Chain A
Amino acid sequence: MKKRKLSGYFAVQSMIFTTLIVMFFVVGIIVYYSMLYAETREHITKIGELNAETSAEQIDKYLSSGVDVLRMTGYTLDNMIRNGNSQEEILAYLENQSIAVSNITSGNSPGFYGCINNGYLDGTGWVPETDYAPLERPWYVEAKANIGRVSVVGPYVDSRTHRNIITLSKTLCDVKSVIAMDFSMDQLQKIAEDLTAHGKSYAEIVLNREYKVLAHSDKSEIGKCYFTEPGSFGNALIDELRSTDENYFFLRYEGADYIVYTTTVANDWFCVSVIDATSSLRRLKRPLIFIFAAALTILAVQLVIIIRSNKNTQIAKQLSDDLSEAENAISEKDSRIGEISKLAFKDALTGVGSKSAFNRLTAELAEKHKTSHTPTAVVMLDVNVLKNVNDTFGHDAGDKYLCGCCGLICEIFRYSPVFRIGGDEFVAVLRNADFSDREKLLQKLRDACDESYSHTDRMPWERYSIAAGMSDWLPDEPDIEQALLRADKAMYDSKRSFKERHKELKSISR
């Protein structure tokens, strides 16, 4: 019982212990994978960053070539202005520089023009319309606004060449003069497309300060302003770009993961490299998800085992309860059986030993007699006139009569077992003191009966009369049977003499 309870307790304990170990390992694995994930993410990011830097460098280099040429020309013009050179001299210089720059940039720029000392000068040979107002042109306004720095205007389509161009412009030393040059975006666009075509990135974008697309690996995006395109990828991109100070960020758009790198190029433009990290990150996420799933499964299994072990414990408890109940029932049955056996060896009416009890005793005595002989006498007793009482006064009176007689017998043979072996037959087995006094006791019984029967004033069932015959169990007899026969014979003699003394009884009974 206790053992069973203890084993259940240990099962739960070991289950908790196992769970803890499993969880420890699961946590360990998760931590390891998290670190691995972070590291790999970092690795992907770094590689992307390197690519983005390379892209930005290429774009910056291209734009810088224009900016540098413009600055150099501006430097000379500053000196010419300070030296007080004439407009013709300045124009001649611009024309020379234009030829040079057109060659250096492989035709990406036709050359210089500007508004110098309040006059428009064009080194490219273009003659403006009479109503051309240079001070109102974006290249002039932007240069003035940008206070000494090279401003980038555009992009727009050049009306003469139909090329997608930008204009670089810058104020000169007197702050009021501005020098400018047009610069083709074709090269920039080619760089963006090449970078994407070589599989290094998902998209390469060059945005100006207004988040207008100057160059894009996808040509159809050029000219779009991402500020005014809510819901678009570009809009999501600049939303994130505006809110971060980092040079890269993760962007989730329509279920895909992107890493976006931004570098400022030229005059506050953004060079944006977008890497589609969906597959690489997902590949990383998969084992992590698997580990989580495995951990959950293990935990679930553990839980089920715990619940089931709990249920088993309950069942075991139930069983043990049932068993103890059964045991109780059995012991109860045993005691009842004892009771029954007791009843079986006892005469129900008189309470003395039954015929079975007598048989058992005689058997025991016979067994004992094999080794030693204890002096023993048997007294056969027969209740007289029982039939008369029964017939005349009913069985209740008969029973009373029988019990009264039995009581008398027991009183006389006080230290000896008395058995009822038939309807009106009793036997007493005398040993020890009662054996020694056997003759006296038999006489005492006869006297008592005579005395009782002589009370004619009593009710017939209160007038006890018992015929008795006694015999000793002789040492050479193996059992008590012979003694019983002799006692029985003696008892009949006694009975006959009683009947002869009371001949009137026959007539009564009839």
Chain B
Amino acid sequence: MPIIELEQVSFTYKEGSKPALTGIDLEINEGEFVGIIGPTGAGKTTLCWAMIGVVPQILRGEFDGRVEVKGLPSNTTPVAQIAQVIGLVQQDAEAQLLMTDIEKEITFPLENLSIPRHEIDRRMNYVLDLVKLRENRQRHPFYLSGGQKQRVAVAAVLAMEPDVLVLDEATSELDPVGAEEIHNLAGDLKQKGKTIIMVEHNIDELARHADRIIVMDQGKIMRNAPTREVLSDVDFLISLGIYPPQVTQVAYTLMKESGKHFDELPITLEEGEAVFSAMREA
């Protein structure tokens, strides 16, 4: 069942000369993990903002079409209300953290919603376990690694109990191990039934978790298909300046240059190891 629906959505920023989004049709189902990729300026962030109503309610411009989140029209429903359905984590972990320790970071927004103390404690313990930061709960975010800071930002959003978590380039300032932590966390959350939307440059990590990938360019959706189908189209991705997973590139080179046959191209390391071992044994 779709939890987010976009129909013929177009948007041009007030100061913009050309549309940031053009004729977007998109449905995202409950419990799905969707990756969004594309070059800079493709409209990926604008699409996320349109889902949470920041576009066009806060960032204004010419808006056309329909966006519905759990039945709420996101261009007219108060953003604070939509935030209870969709949580957004952005690139700069530091800028999202306000408080002097992790517990406060998580409880502050809940206190503002006048949620009872015992419920706040329950949620805090739950999200701290999810992001594996329970032992650090009283630390100042300053003393955390980049990956840990971003996990705090995710925990604070999750404590609001949204149905959907949107991660907009949430790993791009993290070292590889920190980025992997966030991807694994997103994978775990999907297993627990959350809907995950992840805008990412790191295609290798996305390949492991995403059910479906949307490729955007110049405000339009160019592809919207299961992960393997999108990532197997190596020439298409390279033409858009996107670096496909290296395992996929290895298989593609073997296919093209040496006529090797693969039933399907591997997209993760585990698949690559299996497929290439089999090839060498044959």
- Tell me, yes or no, whether A binds B: no
